[in-house]
Amino acid sequence: MSGIENLDLQSIVADIHRDLTPRLGEGKVADYIPQLARVDPQSFGIAIVGVDGQVYKAGDAEVPFSIQSISKVFTLTLALGKHGENIWKRVGREPSGSAFNSIVQLEHEHGVPRNPFINAGAIAITDLVLAGHTPREAIGEIVRFIRYLADDEDIVIDHEVAKSEAATGYRNFALANFMRSFGKLDHPVELVLGTYFHQCALSMTCVQLAKAGLFLAASGTNPLSHHSVVTSQRARRINALMLTCGHYDGSGDFAYRVGLPGKSGVGGGILCVAPGKASVAVWSPGLNHNGNSLLGSRALEMLASRTGWSVFGA
Ligand code: DON
């Protein structure tokens, strides 16, 4: 069956799955959040949702996994909706060149994190989402927003994952305490992190995730549900941040190899946007040394080369 621009996208995803099958299990599954280490390292899923609404999938595309840092794209979108451009007083828009959980730049930059996708930046964004709410209300709002984006009421939080991270999230407590000491968090650390750990523990399938990201491929409106999410300018800007910062200190390499905006999570997922064409989600739990899915990145590199979808030219 043909897809966008007469590409046979179903064959392309099936071929990518088949070509990567001998490599399943490569990379290192995240274990600093104990509950994440329980996942099957051989899992692999890929789903493409075209702006025309067609869905193409292969492998474990309907198996839920922990989206972790991919949630940062959705909370950024929510925070921009609530506070507009004022959020940039609290977080920058530059690549960090450091690990996702690094604390080194925070002191130099007086508690203002480099971008909304490193942990410190995402914690600052969650603090903004929390404004005027209890953590329970804010978590409810985040879940409702993601269900609205994906047009799917079945999306839930895995509370075991949230609990597991709360029990072992020493780094995030350090980052949040550091920011609070600079006066850069409005709410107590426990409340901000309680909310943050729950947003990271959202459990979604590749199909649900690709649908949730579709507004970014379609100028801010989900063409399937017709839900209007953001203006086209805001969608473009979120994509720009995903391209430059979405893979931490691996962002340059991801842009070089794939050439598309993408956001990774330590659960092994990546949400990738081909503007004007499709939203893509891949999942393979084994990570590379930057904490990004090893085979997920490879799958997207294969997809970009087989479709000519790189934003830098075919
Ligand atoms: O805060 C953490 O460490 C995790 N909840 C999320 C980190 C993450 O997904 C980094 N991405 N590759």
Q: Does 9-67+205-307 carry CATH code 3.40.50.10310? A: no
CATH 3.40.309.10, applies to 69-200: no
55 CA distance to ligand 1 middle (Å)? 28
Total number of residues shown for the chain: 314
- For residue 210, give Cα distances in angstroms to 70, 93, 200, 282: 11, 24, 17, 9
2 CA distance to ligand 1 centroid (A)?
A: 36
Cα(72)–Cα(39) distance, integer angstroms: 22
Quote the pLDDT of residue 37.
Answer: 97
- Per residue in 196-237, pLDDT (tens digit) is 999 999 999 999 999 999 999 999 999 999 999 999 999 999
Q: Which atom of ligand 1 is nearest to the CA of 172?
A: 1
| φ and ψ at residue 246, rounded to 5 degrees | -70, -15
Residues 294, 29 contacting (CB under 8 angstroms)? no
Q: Pick from 243, 244, 283: which is nearest to 262 by CA? A: 243
Q: Does residue 198 sit in helix, strand or coil?
A: helix
Q: 56 φ, ψ to 5°? A: -125, 135
DSSP code of 230? S
Q: What is the pLDDT of residues 267-290, one digit of tens each?
A: 999 999 999 999 999 999 999 999
Report the percentage of the chain scoring pLDDT > 90.
95
**Structure tokens that stand for 215 in this block:** 């507004």
Closest CA to ligand 1's atom 7: 69
- Report the relative pairing of strands 269-274 and 65-66 from DSSP bridges: unpaired
Across the chain, mean pLDDT equals 97
What integer pLDDT is reported at residue 314 of this predicted model?
86
pLDDT score, position 4 = 76
* Catalytic residue annotation: 69, 72, 196, 248, 266
9-67+205-307 against 69-200: fold identical? yes
Q: Is the pLDDT of residue 3 over 70?
A: no
Mutate to test the pocket of ligand 1, among 32, 36, 69 (most ligand atoms within 8 A of CB): 69
Within 13 Å, how many C-alpha atoms sit on residue 312's CB side? 11
Integer Cα distance of 107 and 111 in angstroms:
6
Cα-to-centroid distance, 67 and ligand 1 (Å): 9
Which atom of ligand 1 is nearest the CA belonging to 122? 1
Which ligand 1 atom lies nearest to the CA of residue 171? 3
What's the whole-number mean pLDDT along residues 182-206?
A: 98
pLDDT given at position 168: 95
Chain-centre distance for alpha carbon 111:
23
Domain range annotation of the chain: 9-67+205-307, 69-200
Question: What is the token pair recorded at 225?
Answer: 């549900």
What confidence score (pLDDT) does residue 5 get?
A: 78
